[in-house]
Structure 1
Amino acid sequence: MAQRPAGCHGGRPLSAILAGLLLLPLLQAGRSCSTPCFCFATPDTLQCRLGRLLEPPAELPPAARNLSIAGGNLTVLRAAAFAGGWLEGREGKAAARPLAHLTLLVLTHDAIEALEEAAFAGLPALAALDLSHNRLRAVAPGAFAGCAQLRTLRLNQALRRGTRGGLGELLDGALANLSLARLELAGNRLRELPPGTALPPGLRLLDARNNSLQALAAEQLDGLAALGRPRLLLAANPLRCDCASLRPLLVWLRNASADDDRGLLHCASPRPLKGWPLGRLRASQLGCGGGEGAELGLPADDASLRPPETASYVFFGIVLALIGVVFLMVLYLNRRGIKRWLNNLRDACRDQMEGYHYRYEQDCDPRRAGTGGL
């Protein structure tokens, strides 16, 4: 209890640096951590420490299932970083303290820059790994060796700014031997998708939202098709909407499943189509020929060029304009009769006012004031 675990150093506490550690055995009632900084428990001991985590803890309970470390400064994950490092034996290298039951590992906001060979060795049951919000600049080809059960890998906003070669080169060879079902690459400012050779076969979902994708090359999408046509998420990308740029994507969407995010895709350029939903585009807007538009599944009817609500306002304006034109035409054709009617009205009003004026002058005559008293 009094010993400080390796990797902990004195300093101010960080918020939620190690949280959500779930164990198979339950602790006795009334035993809980009083500080949120560093906490893990076993059936026999309960340890809480204050410190800034500069490397993974040297000892973790072997029954742990879920482990979350956030806000640390891990920088580099070396071989078997969470399983006590390598041990030399007769059968070769092996993890010193493997965590056979760990299925979820969350390492967000930990300033991780490099993953060395076999960084996650000793975690044979690991099924989900979250490395989002880090600064990866180097990933060894065998960084995920030994993670045969890994199905979900999250690398959202994990690429360091200015990394040369992009995420495809960074992950080249690292994912080839995995059996991933879900790969998340959102928020990495990607200008192109990773090549199919850098992605694991059997991938079911590739999340590439909120990147800098303007156009998808046919070779990239063909590489995804060779993997089994995984579900592709592309929302919040600045897509360029012209026939040449959109052709590969439209072909992909035409053959893709109906549960993609095509309803969230919008054009970013050219300016006349900025913000236009991809699902409402027409062949004439993209500059595609009639035959080419039909091949891509684009409607060629210009009458449906505008969205329904816009068309209704336009129709209403046309009706009001026609009514105004008819009204002005009626006034013009009856201008003489209207002028004669106005003159007659003016004469009638003048005669009426003269009659009122005459009666007023008679009533004001002093010679007629006393007549009623005689």
Structure 2
Amino acid sequence: MCNLTLCVLLFLAASSSSSCPVHCVCETTIVNCVNQGLRSIPQPLPKDITTLNINGNDIRNLNNESFPSPLEHLTSLYVSGSQVEQLNTMVFANLPSLRFLDLSNNIIVHFSAEAFSQDNKVEVLNLSRSLYNYSYVGVFANLFKQSLPKVSHLDLSNNKLVLLPEGTFTGLLDLTVLDLRNNSLVSIMNGTFQNRALEELDLRDNALKDLPNGTLADLCLIPDLRVRLAGNPWRCDCNIEDMLIWLKRYDLVVDKLKITCSAPAGLKHVSLLQLKQYQLPCTYTGDLKGVLETSYVFLGMVLALIGVIFLLVLYLNRKGIKRWIYNIRDACRDHMEGYHYRYEINSDPRLANLSLNSDV
């Protein structure tokens, strides 16, 4: 009897150990496969797994074969720094309990808007340093609009984003934390931030020179919002006057004391809050001479183009123009001959009498 019990225990232990994938370390329900040079998701994964960490591998393509069987208890998935390029349709469909997804430090080129099931529960999504090229942000915009209704924390920092497509975050109704630090955003479109649940908005270290009035109004309508704006190259001229009033009136910006001017030169490094409205210049500081020279060159090019087109039209219609000139010449000749004939009649009395007799 004792031998039978021992055999059963050994069998269970062997079964338990065999459920842990090769090159991975399993601790209770946590599976770690970090920096193992893996090219795909290790298989088979334990059925009771709750956390999978496959950071630092070479898994370029995630598809519906990456998780071939349902993992009902998996809540956290780490795939950071794994050279991920493609995330295909329904790749996460067999992870119904997934709530935390880290895809940072990858080179994502394609992210299917149908990568998640419609009833997914993802709450935290880290896409920091994950975009291969900022032009692909439109793919993420479609993903945010259609597929992630439960996301509350979204990290898009360090992606060199220049512009955010209109309505990028409108589908994220539960969004509370949005990190857009260290991008290259040059402007914020009106209506970009209308998420009433938003609590943290980080816009530090971008390329913003001012914020449009529509954006200022949108931010005022979010009740518990805290915004960070330091580290941008703010241009302290009359275009930023409304933003200055907004900063002084509301306490939404937690780092407003750190907001400094980058231009014009006379106000560089000056705290924006220290300025009065009348101190904001409205003078043109560009190279006016260069602009005028460029304008003259452009005008000359336009006139030259018009001249070429005119000559081309003349050339293409040369036969018609020639015929038109001949017609005018003949008409003028006939007219002049009529005048000449009348002149000869009037100057010769005999012809004049003959003309009168012929009239009778």
Match of 2:77 among 100, 105, 118: 105
Q: Number of residue pairs matched?
A: 234
What's 1:67 paired with? Answer: 52
Give the deviation of 1:252 after TM superposition.
4.3
Change (3 A) 1:122 1:274: farther
Residues 194-213 of structure 1: CA deviation (Å, up to 9, x unaligned): 43255422322211111112
Q: Residues 51 and 181 (structure 1 numbering): CA distance in 2 closer, same or farther, change over 3 Å?
A: closer
Following TM superposition, the consecutive aligned residue runs of length 4 or more in structure 1 with deviations greater than 6 angstroms are 46-50
Q: What does residue range 153-192 of structure 1 map to in structure 2 within 5 Å?
A: 153-161=125-133, 163-164=134-135, 166-173=136-143, 175-178=145-148, 179-192=150-163
The alignment partner of 1:218 has SS state of coil
User: So what's the TM-score if we normalise by structure 1?
Assistant: 0.54
Measure how far apart 1:283 and its partner are.
2.9
Residue 255 (structure 1) shift: 4.3
Aligned-pair CA distance for 1:215: 2.4
Which amino acid in 2 is paired with 1:103?
A: T
**Structure 1 residues 228, 263: CA separation in 2 closer, same or farther (over 3 Å shift)?**
closer
Matched, 1:270 2:270: no
**Which aligned pairs between 1:1-374 and structure 2 lie closer than 5 A?**
38-41=23-26, 51-81=36-66, 83-84=67-68, 97-145=69-117, 148-161=120-133, 163-164=134-135, 166-173=136-143, 175-178=145-148, 179-197=150-168, 199-220=171-192, 224-225=193-194, 228-229=197-198, 231-241=200-210, 245-256=211-222, 257=224, 259-261=226-228, 262-264=253-255, 266-267=259-260, 269-272=262-265, 273-277=267-271, 279-280=273-274, 282-286=276-280
Q: Kindly indicate whether the alpha-carbon contact (under 8 Å) linking 1:139 and 1:174 is maintained by their aligned counterparts in 2.
A: no
SS at match of 1:38: coil
Counterpart AA for 1:184: D
List runs of 5+ in structure 1 lacking aligned partners.
Answer: 1-26, 85-96, 289-374
Corresponding residue SS for 2:50: strand
Amino acid in structure 2 at the alignment position of 1:237: N
Q: Which amino acid aligns with 1:181?
A: S
Q: Report the identity percentage.
A: 29
Q: Tell me which amino acid in the other structure corresponds to 1:55.
A: S
| Distance change (3 Å), C-alpha of 1:65 and 1:248 | same
The separation in 1 between residues aligned to 2:200 and 2:32, in whole angstroms, is 43
Of Structure 1 and Structure 2, the greater helix share is in 2
Give the distance between the partners of 1:47 and 1:191, measured in 2 at CA. 36
Match of 2:302 in 1: none
Structure 2 Cα separation of the partners of residues 269 and 185 of structure 1: 25
- 1:177 deviates by 3.2
CA RMSD of aligned residues (A): 3.6
- Segments of 5+ residues of structure 2 without an aligned counterpart are 1-11, 229-252, 283-360
Quote how far apart the aligned CAs of 1:247 are: 3.4
Distance 1:259 1:140 in 2: 32
CA distance in 2, matches of 1:75, 1:263: 40
- The aligned amino acid for 2:74 is L
The CA deviation at 1:259 is 3.1
Which TM-score applies when normalising by structure 2?
0.56
CA distance in 2, matches of 1:48, 1:231: 33
